[in-house]
């Protein structure tokens, strides 16, 4: 079971910490006159808004299944993370545009103030990202993992801005500051685009990772009650894995015995995946093979199983 309080707790903590980082960056941007620091402040302001949406999505996703959502509301986390990545990409474009305008009209800045703010932001984000990843993996929360991913991109952008400010303080070249803003918001956009691909895969009912599918297949091959299997399908909805398949059992079993054995296999597969919703349609082994040979001209290959 998902520890709802742990997920919501860290979503709230992320929101509060990110809000604090925003204040530090925006004050530093005002005092230093740096467009790259301003870019970081605006990016973090977006982070605060997205953290709030993450918290709302987590609450909604934990609602139990109902008549209109029989598979639950887990996709709310995916939709929230998807929207979050799109906002990050859009913000990166806006910041790049503002930086290009500064390149056309360069001006002197106060790098020391910006460097202090960026250093504080990097340390804070590094600690927060580690904790969000830990809790996100433990609780299988796409929202927290998405939050950690975009904060990671933000941290690399912050490091880039920090490096740019150091170069400016050493060389005095005015174009370094806006160039740093452009280059390192692009880094954040790349991370967001990569995460976007993963989210779209899940939203379109993509299968579980190959290593998890192999765990299921190996468990089926090794299970003494399973004579064969086919039509294996897997997907993830929010933090819940779903597995459906047809399992072949001994023909001599009564309906009740076959049902009990199918439930035993379901429980076993759920344990193998560390928690999953498994649904099995059971069939008589020899009768199914005879049907396949007669109707489809297939040989005795059902025992090896197939998956999609």
247: Cβ–Cβ under 8 A, 6 or more apart, which residues? 220, 226, 228, 229, 262, 265, 280, 281, 282, 283
Single out the residue in 155, 177, 203 at which a domain terminates: 203
Question: What is residue 307's DSSP assignment?
Answer: B
Which structure tokens are listed for 36?
């790259």
Residue-wise pLDDT for 279-297, tens only, equals: 999 999 988 888 778 776 6
Count of domains for the chain = 2
What SS3 class is residue 234? strand
Q: Does 243 share its domain with 98? A: no
HSE value, Cβ hemisphere, 13 Å, CA-based, for 228: 19
* Dihedral sign of CA atoms 155, 156, 157, 161 in order: positive
- Confidence (pLDDT) at 307: 40
Q: Does 280 share its domain with 160? A: no
Residue-wise pLDDT for 75-105, tens only, equals: 777 787 788 788 888 888 888 887 888 787 7
CA distance 147 to 194: 14
Q: Distances in Å between the alpha carbon of 21 and those of 34, 123, 141, 269?
A: 17, 11, 24, 44
* Beta strand pairing call for 277-284 and 228-237: unpaired
Q: Does 132 share its domain with 252? A: no
Single out the residue in 203, 226, 258 at which a domain terminates: 203
Low-confidence stretches of the chain (pLDDT < 70) are: 1-4, 296-308
Name the residue among 235, 237, 238 with its Cα closest to residue 213: 235
Whole-model pTM: value is 0.60
Q: Does 173 share its domain with 292? A: no
Q: Does 37 share its domain with 175? A: yes
Residue-wise pLDDT for 35-90, tens only, equals: 778 877 877 787 787 777 777 777 777 777 778 877 777 777 778 778 878 888 88
Instruction: Show the 3-state SS of 70-135.
Output: CCCCCHHHHHHHHHHHHHHHHHHHHHHHHHHHHHHCCCCCCHHHHHHHHHHHHHHHHHHHHHHHHH
Compute the C-alpha angle 32/35/38, nearest 5°.
80
Which structure tokens are listed for 190?
């790349």
Single out the residue in 203, 225, 245 at which a domain terminates: 203
Residue 104: domain span = 4-203
The CATH number of the domain holding residue 10 is 1.20.1510.10
């Amino acid at each position: 079971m998902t520890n709802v309080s742990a997920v919501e707790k860290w979503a709230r903590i992320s929101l509060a910490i990110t809000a604090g980082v925003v204040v530090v960056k925006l004050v530093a941007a005002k005092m230093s006159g740096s467009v790259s620091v301003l870019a970081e402040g605006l990016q973090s302001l977006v982070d605060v808004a997205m953290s709030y949406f993450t918290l709302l999505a987590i609450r909604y996703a934990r609602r139990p299944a109902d008549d209109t959502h029989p598979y639950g509301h887990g996709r709310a986390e995916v939709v929230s993370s998807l929207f979050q990545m799109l906002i990050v990409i859009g913000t990166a474009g806006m910041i790049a545009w503002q930086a290009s305008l500064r390149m056309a009209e360069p001006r002197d800045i106060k790098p020391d103030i910006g460097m202090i703010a960026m250093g504080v932001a990097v340390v804070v984000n590094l600690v927060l990202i580690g904790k969000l990843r830990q809790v996100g993996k433990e609780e299988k929360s796409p929202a927290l993992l998405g939050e950690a991913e975009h904060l990671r991109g933000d941290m690399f952008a912050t490091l880039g801005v920090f490096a740019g400010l150091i170069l400016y303080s050493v060389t005095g070249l005015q174009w370094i500051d806006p160039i740093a803003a452009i280059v390192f918001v692009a880094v954040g956009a790349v991370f967001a685009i990569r995460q976007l691909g993963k989210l779209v895969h899940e939203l379109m009912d993509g299968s579980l990772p190959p290593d998890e599918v192999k765990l299921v297949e190996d468990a089926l091959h090794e299970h003494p009650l399973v004579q064969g299997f086919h039509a294996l399908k897997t997907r993830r909805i929010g933090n819940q894995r779903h597995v459906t398949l047809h399992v072949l059992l001994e023909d001599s079993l009564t309906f009740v015995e076959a049902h009990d054995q199918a439930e035993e296999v379901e429980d076993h597969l759920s344990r193998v995946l560390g928690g999953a919703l498994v649904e099995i349609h059971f069939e008589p082994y020899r009768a199914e093979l005879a049907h396949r040979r007669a109707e489809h001209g297939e040989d005795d290959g059902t025992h090896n199983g197939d998956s999609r």
